[in-house]
């Protein structure tokens, strides 16, 4: 069964305090791994897509990396506006269709 | 750019009633998706459509139906609502026919009493 777990469930950082969020997955035939940001009361907003182990992508203070079993979202010198829930998702190959599986998210709070 | 619009924003529905959640995209994306988001469970795929005229079942399709008559619209219908369908529903679209990066709408908050 395809599965995605994220840790920690919640994270509180001081402004400027760098950290990493973890996404672990088990999937039969990974087609892609995705990171999204979700603000309260809004739909998820796309951040990154990673396709193969060793791949890295960066955007402002965020950097996403991928291994064969997990992905990390590194946040460097975060600001209060980075506070949000960060969602990880995988797209799996399934016979006759497709399957997107989302993790429960990590709720990040950055304090000024 | 509108992107994806969903209607209504929120709705309270009596159990046993039917309801259609509307989703429209103006990006000419091939694929469209419906998810529900429940506390602690994350987003779960209900139905999807790779292209106009085709639909497929996701992880939790029971109690829901969809249609894709054209590229832009992807309505989700609850034929006879039950309280366990209380959730926030998100529509998403993707440029590629077999998915990839998805772009989400603002969501519909549905309460079934």
- Render A37-104 in DSSP notation, one character per residue: EE-TTS--EEEEEE-STT-EEEETTEEEEE-SSEEEEEE-S--GGG-EEEEEEEEEEETTEEEEEE--
Q: Do A34 and B99 touch (CB under 8 A)?
A: no
* pLDDT > 60? residue B1: no
* pLDDT > 70? residue B97: no
CA distance B56 to B61: 9
* pLDDT > 80? residue A98: no
User: Which of B48, B59, B102 has its CB closest to that of A46?
Assistant: B102
Structure confidence at residue A43 (pLDDT): 96
Strand-pairing partners, residue B40, are: none
Q: Do A32 and B100 touch (CB under 8 A)?
A: yes
* pLDDT > 70? residue A96: no
Max Cα-Cα span within chain B: 38
User: Which of B40, B98, B101 has its CB closest to that of A49?
Assistant: B101
Kindly indicate the confidence band of residue B100, based on its pLDDT and cuts at 50, 70 and 90: confident
Please answer whether residues A37 and A85 qualify as being in contact, where contact means their C-beta atoms are separated by less than 8 angstroms.
yes
Please answer whether residues B66 and B47 qualify as being in contact, where contact means their C-beta atoms are separated by less than 8 angstroms.
yes
Tell me the average pLDDT of chain B. 94
Using DSSP's 3-state secondary structure scheme, residue A108 falls into: strand
Residues shown for chain A: 112
Query: Looking at A15-19, A50-54, B87-91, which range is the least confident one?
Result: A50-54
CA A31 → CA A26, A53, A68, A103, B101, distances in Å? 12, 11, 12, 16, 11
Kindly indicate the confidence band of residue B41, based on its pLDDT and cuts at 50, 70 and 90: confident
Kindly indicate the confidence band of residue B5, based on its pLDDT and cuts at 50, 70 and 90: very high
Kindly indicate the confidence band of residue A29, based on its pLDDT and cuts at 50, 70 and 90: confident
A24 close to B (CB below 8 A): no
Radius of gyration, alpha carbons of chain B: 13
Structure confidence at residue B98 (pLDDT): 64
> Is the sign of the CA dihedral B37, B39, B42, B47 positive or negative?
negative
Average pLDDT over residues A41-65: 95
Q: State CA B34 to chain mean position distance.
A: 3
**pLDDT tens-digit map of B22-35:** 999 999 999 999 99
Which residues of chain B lie closer than 8 angstroms to A31, CB-CB? 99
Using DSSP's 3-state secondary structure scheme, residue A109 falls into: strand
**pLDDT tens-digit map of A54-94:** 999 999 999 999 998 999 999 999 999 999 999 999 988 77
> Which of B44, B97, B102, B105 would you mutate first to test chain A, the one with the most A CBs within 10 A?
B102
CA distance A65 to A81: 22
CA A79 → CA A18, A44, A71, A74, distances in Å? 10, 19, 22, 13
Q: Do B44 and A102 touch (CB under 8 A)?
A: yes
Radius of gyration, alpha carbons of chain A: 14
Please answer whether residues B108 and A109 qualify as being in contact, where contact means their C-beta atoms are separated by less than 8 angstroms.
no
**Position with higher pLDDT, A103 vs A96:** A103
Which residues of chain B lie closer than 8 angstroms to A96, CB-CB? 56
CA distance A74 to B83: 39
Q: Do B58 and A91 touch (CB under 8 A)?
A: no
């Amino acid at each position: 069964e395809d599965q995605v777990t994220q840790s920690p469930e919640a994270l509180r950082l001081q402004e400027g305090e760098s950290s990493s969020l973890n996404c672990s997955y088990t999937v039969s035939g990974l087609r892609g791994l995705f990171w999204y940001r979700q603000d309260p009361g809004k739909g998820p907003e796309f951040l990154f897509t990673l396709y193969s182990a060793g791949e890295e992508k960066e955007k402002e203070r965020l950097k996403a990396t991928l291994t064969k079993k997990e992905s990390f979202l590194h946040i460097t010198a975060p600001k209060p506006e980075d506070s949000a829930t960060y969602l990880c998702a995988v797209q799996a190959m399934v016979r006759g269709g497709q399957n997107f599986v989302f993790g429960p998210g990590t709720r990040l709070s950055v304090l000024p | 750019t509108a992107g994806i619009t969903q209607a209504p924003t929120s709705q309270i529905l009596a159990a046993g009633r039917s309801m259609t959640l509307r989703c429209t995209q103006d990006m000419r994306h091939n694929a469209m998706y419906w998810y529900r988001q429940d506390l602690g469970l994350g987003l779960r795929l209900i139905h999807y459509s790779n292209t106009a005229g085709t639909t497929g079942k996701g992880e939790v399709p029971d109690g829901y139906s969809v249609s894709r008559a054209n590229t832009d619209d992807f309505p989700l219908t609850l034929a006879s609502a039950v309280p366990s369908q209380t959730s926030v529903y998100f529509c998403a679209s993707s440029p590629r026919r077999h998915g990839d990066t998805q772009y989400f709408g603002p969501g519909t908050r549905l309460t079934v009493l």
